Chain A
């Protein structure tokens, strides 16, 4: 099982996430695409951890702990972000990010 398979799968998932952020206007969907990108990175990091563990490195489990911390940060980010989106919806009655460009001027 070459590690390249996992690399290309992660690249594909990450690019789908980037595509979603660029294409969609709904703030919640953009947020979900950010979660998708974080998960692509997590998958790649677990694959590298397995790869280095098979190659005989003893500290390969640090990568899995990094994945753990990324999950922690993602959970905190979702809590704050959804609170912000709820406030935006309460003020503008929409979650379309095109409306939010009034912050520009």
Chain B
């Protein structure tokens, strides 16, 4: 553990992993939502550490600001903030945990010896909004417009699905 960057990486990783486990293991759904918000902030910290400031800001605004508020609204409106899972079959839980752990072991074993270029600690400005905006509006204009149509159709779809039919 030499440099300050590795210490920050370790702290953010421990926070992210612990709160991600809290999402899965907590009984109360509201606690899960709050743990997921903590995870998102830790991931945003990782983005800042990798010089992706624009993505860090967008990540906080979109995920912690919009998506998680939507989850909390639905939980509160449906009054689900109590434990409701009767959980008869306990072996399904163990089977899920073992499957996820086996996937973890396989992926780590597959990528353990991969050789890749090293990340330097030098600053580069590819994550700043000026550079990303140049690339977005020069090379990716068509996907950008298509995603706006996707948003429009998602909005209409949410209204149509959520409407109470008479």
Interface residues of A (CB under 8 A from B): 1-9, 11-26, 28-29, 31-33, 35-36, 39, 42-43, 46-47, 49-55, 60-62, 64-65, 67-69, 71-80, 82-87, 89-90, 94-96
Contacts and interface: CB of A to CB of B under 8 A. Distances in A.
The SS class assigned to the B binding surface is: helix
Interface of B: 3, 5-6, 9, 13, 16-17, 20-21, 23-24, 29, 32-33, 36, 39-40, 43, 46-47, 50-52, 54-55, 58-59, 62-63, 66-67, 70-71, 74-75, 77-78, 80, 84-87, 92-93, 95-97, 99-101, 103-104, 107-108, 111, 114, 116-122, 124, 126-127, 131-132, 135-136, 139-140, 143, 147, 150-151, 154-155, 157-158, 161-162, 164
Contacts of B95: 22
Which of B5, B104, B119 has the largest count of A CB atoms less than 10 A from its CB? B119
Given A16-B20, A53-B124, A61-B132, A4 B116 contact: yes
Contacts of B132: 61, 64-65, 68
